[in-house]
Structure 1
Amino acid sequence: MACTLADSTFLFTAPQQRPIQGHRFAPFKSSGIYYLKWENQPPTRIRHQRHLIPTRRSTVVQAVAVPVAPSPSESAEYRKQLCESYGFKQIGEPLPENVTMKDMVSTVPKKVFEIDDVKAWKSVFISVSSYALGLFMISKAPWFLLPLAWAWTGTAITGFFVIGHDCAHKSFSKNKLVEDIVGTLAFMPLIYPYEPWRFKHDQHHAKTNMLFEDTAWQPIQREEFDSSPILRNAIIYGYGPFRPWMSIAHWWLCHFDTKKFRPNEVKRVQISLACVFAFMAIGWPLIVYQTGVMGWIKFWLMPWLGYHFWMSTFTMVHHTAPHIPFKQSDDWNAAQAQLNGTVHCDYPSWIEILCHDINVHIPHHISPRIPSYNLRAAHQSLRENWGKYLNEATWNWRLMKTILTVCHVYSKEQNYVAFDELTPKESYPITFLKKVMPDYA
C-alpha cells in the first residue's frame, strides 16, 4: 500500500543489505552466478568471459572462468551469519526460478481453504470483547497504567483490521454481501475506508516487492532522497524513529483521493468514504459529548495510534529485511517474491490471538484465500514441503533495529543503503537509534 514518495514523503517498504554491528558480508549470490576465491579475498562475482593474460615469456594464455557453485556448507554458514546479524531464526535459500505459484499452492491441503462460519464469527467475538475490555480498562485505570490499557486496546482494534482484511480477500464468509458489510463495519472505528484499501491491497499481493508497483512499503529512491534538504530530513525521520507510525501518512495520502482509483472503482470508494465520514460525524461528537475532548483522546485517539503502530511494524516485518530485494518488473518472479520475499514472525501469544495470526504471513501470500484461522495449518504444510526456502523470525529488538537503521535507500546491487552511509551529518536520528535501541535477539 504505498503511494509514490513524491506524493507522500513517507512510504512503506521492504528490503535489503548492510548488516549492523559492524558485520560485513558479501551480497547474497543466487544459483547461476560463479565464484572465484583468491587467497583470503572475498568471493568475486564474474561472468563467462575470456581473458588474455601475458606471461613473462610473452606467451599468451587463455584463461576461462569455470563455474564453481558455493558448497552447501558455505551457503548455510553464510545464511547463519546473516541470521545472527539481522535477528532472524532462518533465512531461506533462494527459490529455484522454475518453481511457480501453482507448484506451491498444490502442496497446501485443500481443507485450509475452507471457510468455517463458526471460526469466522468467533474471531469477531474475540475482537469485540477484547476491545470492550480495553475500553473498560481505560475508564478504570489510574494515569500510570493507561499506557498498558492503550496497548491492549490498540492491539484489540488491530483485530478489527484483520477481520476486514479477511473480508477483502473473500475468506471470511461464503456470502459476499456479508463480507462487504462486515469489512466496512470493522474498518469504520479505524477511520479506514474499506474499498479503497482493498483495491490498493490487491495490488500489493499481485506485485509483492516489485519496485514502484507494490502498494505496501517501498524503499526510498536515491533521486527522491537527493531532491531537497527538507524532503531528505523528513524522509530520514519518517523511515527512522517515526517509522512505527508512518502508516498514518500512507492511510491519509493513499485512500481518500478518488483520483487514485479506476473509474469502475470510484462508486465503491465513495460509499466507503461516506461510511468513514459518517462515523467521524456521529461517533466523534458522541464521544466528546460523553467524555469531553480528553475522553476522545483517551478512548479513541491513543488506541488508534496503537493500532497504527502494529499496522506499520507488521507491514515492515512481513517484507523488509536487508537480504530481501525489491526488483524491477522485468526481473521480478512471483513465486520468489511471495515465498522468499515474505517473513514469518512469531509474536507473543496475546498479540497473535488478538490479531488473529496475521503474522503467520507466508501462506497468506501463497494464497490470500486462506482464512486467518487456517494460516497456522497452512504454514506447517509449507514448512514440510518448502521449509528450507522460508524466512522466519521471532520478534526481537535486533530485528527491529536492523529495519529502522539499515533498510532505507534502494540499491540494485545491495538492496539497501542506510541513510547514515549517504549523509552521515544529516542522519543523527539513525545514529541515535543505533545507540539507544537494544541489540539483543
Structure 2
Amino acid sequence: MVPPNVELTCRPTAGAKKAVGDVTTFERGYIPPNFTIKEIREAIPAHCFERSALKSASYVARDLAVIAALAYAATFIDVYLPPVWRYVAWPLYWFFCGAFATGVWVLAHECGHQAFSRSTTLNNTVGFILHTALLVPYHSWRITHSKHHKFTGHVSKDQVFVPKTRSRVGLSPKDAVHHSVFEDAPIVTLLNLIGQQLFGFPLYLSFNMSGQSYDDRWANHFNPSAPMFDRRDFYDVIISDIGIIIALSTIFYFSYVYSFLTVAKYYLIPYLVVNHWLVLITYLQHTDPKLPHYREGQWNFVRGAATTVDRHLGFLDAIFHRITSTHVAHHYFCMMPHYHAEEATKHLAKVLGSYYIFDDTPIFKALWNSHNECKYIEDEGEVVFYKKN
C-alpha cells in the first residue's frame, strides 16, 4: 500500500553538494523529484485500478495451458526425433517453458500484492500454489517483497539489490576502486554473471545475498525468526516452508519413479531459466548508473518508487506480462493488475517527465554494463549514485 497523500518537499541537507537558488542539488547535480502521490494517482484513469479475478485467472490458465502443451510435446522429442534434432528441440523447450513459467511467477507475484483479485483468500491461495510449484516460499517472499516496495531506493531499509558502500568494499575515502586483474578479466565477469543469473534467487532466499545487512545475523526466507520477519509473520513463514517441503518431496518422488535426468529435462532446467529471467529482470530494474539512492534525510515513497527502470524485452514482454516495461507504475501502485499497467505508464510518464526512466539498451548489454559500472556508493551523502571507480 502507498503512504498517505502528503506534500513532498526537498530540504537542504548536510550531504548536499551545492545550492542553486532555493533548490538543493546533490551528487551529479541531481535535484530529487517533488511530486505528490495524489498528483500521480489523479493522472491515471480510475479503471486502471480495477481488479478482475476472472481476467487474472484467464492469464494463469493461458500460461499453464502453454506449459502443459510444451511438456506434452517434449515427450515426443527422444522418441521420434533423430539425435541431432534433439539438441535443437530440448533447448527450445527449455527456453519457452522457462519463459512461460516466468510469466506464472509474475502472476503469483501479483497475488502477493493483492492485485490478482479483490479477495485476499483467493489471492493468497492462487499465489501460494503457483509460487510453491516454482520453489518460492510464497508468504516469506511476499512479506520481504512488500518491505522492498515500501522502501525502494532507501540505502538502509530496502530489502534487495542494496548497494555496497565504499567502506564495505574495502576502500578508504581517498582510494579509487582497484580490482585484481582476475576480477576485471571478461571471463571472470562472465562467470560471475552466469552464477548470478542461475543461482542468484535461491542464494537470496537462503542467504539474503544482495539483500539488506543485519549485523552478521543469518537472514533467510525459511527461518520464521529471521531478522526481516516480525513475530506476527511466524506461521506464514512456517506454512511457506511446508509448501516447499511438499514441492521438493514431489521432485524427489518423480526423480525416483522416472529418473533424475527426466526430472532435470522437464522441470529443473526450465526452473533455472526462470531464475535467470527473474534475476535479470529485477536486477536491471534496480541496478543502473542513472538511478539515485537515498538515505533517510531525503528518502520518501514517491522518490523511492522512481528509482527503477522500465525496459523492453521484445516478444518476451507479453509472456512476462509486461513486468519489465511497466515496473515504474508497479512500484507506485503495486495493487494495480498488470493488464492495466501499460495504459497507466503512459499517463505516469507524463507526470514524472525526466524522472521517468526508460532504457532501450539491448538487455544483455545493459546487464554487462550494470554489472561492470555499479560497484559501490559513497559512505556519505543523502543522495548518491553507483560508481565504478
TM-score, normalised via structure 1 length: 0.69
Q: CA deviation at 1:156?
A: 1.2
Q: Which digits, 9 at most, give the CA deviation of each residue in 1:19-68, with x for residues without a partner? A: xxxxxxxxxxx9999xxxxxxxxxxx9747xxxxxxxxxxxxxxxxx859
Q: Is the 8 A contact 1:95 1:336 kept in 2?
A: no
Q: CA deviation at 1:190?
A: 1.1
Q: Is the 8 A contact 1:134 1:150 kept in 2?
A: no
Match of 2:7 in 1: none
Q: Which digits, 9 at most, give the CA deviation of each residue in 1:208-257, with x for residues without a partner? A: 01113111211123444339x9xx97x97886453323122102223112
Structural mapping, 1:321-332, within 5 Å: 321-332=288-299
Structure 2 gap segments, 5+ residues each:
1-9, 78-85, 172-178, 208-219
Change (3 A) 1:374 1:292: same
CA distance in 2, matches of 1:392, 1:196: 31
Question: Larger relative CO (CA 8 A, sep 6+): 1 or 2?
Answer: 1
Moved over 4 A (4+): 30-33, 45-48, 66-69, 93-97, 235-241
AA aligned to 2:317 is: E
Alignment partner for residue 415 of structure 1, among 378, 385, 388? 385
Match of 1:352 in 2: 317
Q: For residue 392 of structure 1, give the secondary structure of its aligned residue in structure 2.
A: coil
Match of 2:107 in 1: 163
Q: For residue 154 of structure 2, give the secondary structure of its aligned residue in structure 1.
A: coil
Q: Which digits, 9 at most, give the CA deviation of each residue in 1:125-150, with x for residues without a partner? A: 12201221332344334133322211
Change (3 A) 1:193 1:68: closer
Q: Is the 8 A contact 1:203 1:215 kept in 2?
A: yes
Structural mapping, 1:19-418, within 5 Å: 47=18, 97-141=33-77, 142-226=86-170, 240-245=193-198, 246-253=200-207, 254-260=220-226, 261-281=229-249, 283-339=250-306, 341-349=307-315, 351-359=316-324, 360-394=326-360, 396=362, 397-411=364-378, 415-418=385-388
Q: Which digits, 9 at most, give the CA deviation of each residue in 1:354-396, with x for residues without a partner? A: 2211111111111111001111111122133334321112350
Q: CA deviation at 1:302?
A: 0.6
Q: Which has the larger radius of gyration?
A: 1
Change (3 A) 1:177 1:32: closer
Q: CA deviation at 1:177?
A: 0.9
Q: For residue 377 of structure 2, give the secondary structure of its aligned residue in structure 1.
A: strand
Q: CA deviation at 1:168?
A: 0.9
Q: Is the 8 A contact 1:188 1:275 kept in 2?
A: yes
Cα RMSD, aligned residues only? 3.1
Change (3 A) 1:32 1:269: closer
Q: For residue 238 of structure 2, give the secondary structure of its aligned residue in structure 1.
A: helix
Q: Is the 8 A contact 1:239 1:404 kept in 2?
A: no
Q: For residue 331 of structure 1, give the secondary structure of its aligned residue in structure 2.
A: coil
Q: CA deviation at 1:346?
A: 1.2
AA aligned to 1:126 is: R
CA distance in 2, matches of 1:212, 1:237: 29
Match of 1:55 in 2: none
Q: For residue 335 of structure 2, give the secondary structure of its aligned residue in structure 1.
A: coil
Q: Is the 8 A contact 2:110 2:337 kept in 1?
A: yes
CA distance in 2, matches of 1:236, 1:102: 43
Count of aligned pairs? 334
